[in-house]
Amino acid sequence: MQISFAPPASVEAGALVLGVFADGVLSNAAGAVDRRSKGALSRALKAASKFKGGRDETLALYGIAGFDQIVLFGLGKPEDVDAVRLQRAGGAVAALLNHAGIGSATAQFEGIVLAGHGAGAAAAEFAFGARLRAWRFERYRTKEKAEAKPSLKTLVVQTSDAAAAKKAFARADAVAQGVFLTRELVSEPANILYPESFAAKAKELADLGVEVEILGEKQMRKLGMGALLGVGQGSVRESQLVVLQWKGAGGKRKGEAPVAFVGKGVTFDTGGISLKPGQGMWDMKWDMGGAGVVTGLFKALALRKAKVNAVGVLGLVENMPSGDAQRPGDIVTSMSGQTIEVWNTDAEGRLVLADALWYTQDRFKPKAMVNLATLTGAVIIALGTDHAGLFSNDDALAERLAAAGKAVEEKLWRLPLGDAYDKQIDSDIADMKNITGSRDAGSIIGAQFLQRFVNKVPWAHLDIAGTTWSGKDTPTVPKGATAFGVRLLERFVTDNYEG
């Protein structure tokens, strides 16, 4: 879909898109159309009893005020209009237009503003939402009927400051491209996306200025990464560790310590010898969601030339059962030197992250470190699919992450850590075990395990098991891979590390 911005002008073709506030109050642009049509728009709106101009509401009208199609979108009360609400409106409109088979549309934004920003900002946020919702994973569709395909090809957003809107949208679109890369990676089946092919995909970021290193099993074995390598030893696919570096801080900040992001990248998780039930196992292609988010984040940072030094580390493995697979009861030695008794081979993500986190803090000495992982089903029981779990050893870091999540509507909920939980993973014959044998506090136990590998670095763990994949559409996220975390972390970097 092509998105452009233009000054206010008459609309000669395609659908006309107009905003409406709570209780049917027309925006300036909608009011102008209503006056030209001698109240036809108001009468049509009054007849549509279910449309009140509330958040996420849309209404399609046909043959009104001289237009083939008019699409109205609701924004609620003017004082409640923020960036997220505008993005949701853009996404809802894009979904409606595609569903209706409309090929082109013009949105008029006179009278819709974003508090504290110029006239073009609201238009840019609306367009960003439309861009996010219009994405679709189409690679394997070969027989889809033409009428089932997305129809919307062009969207023009009219605003009195088109130049400012275009500039703001360029930055937002860089973030969108990172989101789309993550959605693509998470959507790919495991016969296409496995550790080596994932690493090759990450290598493409070098074209954007990201420094990319790929460590194979021989190099990881030399580093002592027995925890990560143990997870992948049952697979014919070689495990990989990918290191991404974006060195965007200039001037006096050029050599400052980076902020680090670490992603769990289990490209398929059978559970290993502790085999998962067959029902639903197909979903385990997205157990690499954390690594997918880190990859997409670095594309976004590179495309918008972020003024930050950042490091990304992806632990990429495939967890398979075979004659070579890790067994329950095995003991592995992590890069840190700490030994781990593997009680359950399906608690594998924490083993991967144990070595990836240690490697990151040991090599790069980051000022802060955030890991993302589809780590536990328990977090879905605790929080459902609306919030990701947040764990941290640093209150300030946790608060900054939560604020960034709230700003982009990728919400986090902090859960506790503590000695009482930590003692539960002590092993009788090794330094620790990877589960407790109880279902109690499953997500906390996973986070507590990870904390043993971060030393004193300010660290946060985001358990995104419930938010990586969605079974339904939302205004800005189509059903499927969500890329939850890309926008959150991009905002986190913007607000805290690019001063």
Supply the residues annotated as catalytic: 276, 350
287 marked as binding residue: yes
Using CA atoms, how far apart are residues 268 and 236, in angstroms rounded to an integer?
12
Residue whose pair of structure tokens reads 């003024």 in the numeric block: 307
Q: Is 476 exposed, middle or buried (0-12, 13-18, 19+ CB in 10 A)?
A: buried
What angle, rounded to 10 degrees, do the helices at 289-303 and 195-203 form? 10
CA angle 293, 373, 339 (to 5 degrees): 135
Using CA atoms, how far apart are residues 233 and 243, in angstroms rounded to an integer?
21
For residues 148-157, one letter each, b for 16 or more C-beta atoms within 10 angstroms of the residue's C-beta and e for the rest, the string is eebbbeebbb
Beta bridge partners of residue 18, listed in sequence order: 72
269 marked as binding residue: yes
* Type of residue at 332: V
Coil, strand or helix at 382: helix
Helices (H), 67-161: 83-100, 119-134
79 marked as binding residue: no
Coil, strand or helix at 326: coil
Largest alpha-carbon pair distance within the chain? 83
Quick one: tokens of 358? 């240690």
Coil, strand or helix at 411: coil
What angle, rounded to 10 degrees, do the helices at 442-451 and 349-364 form? 30
The annotated binding site for Mn(2+) is made up of: 264, 269, 287, 346, 348
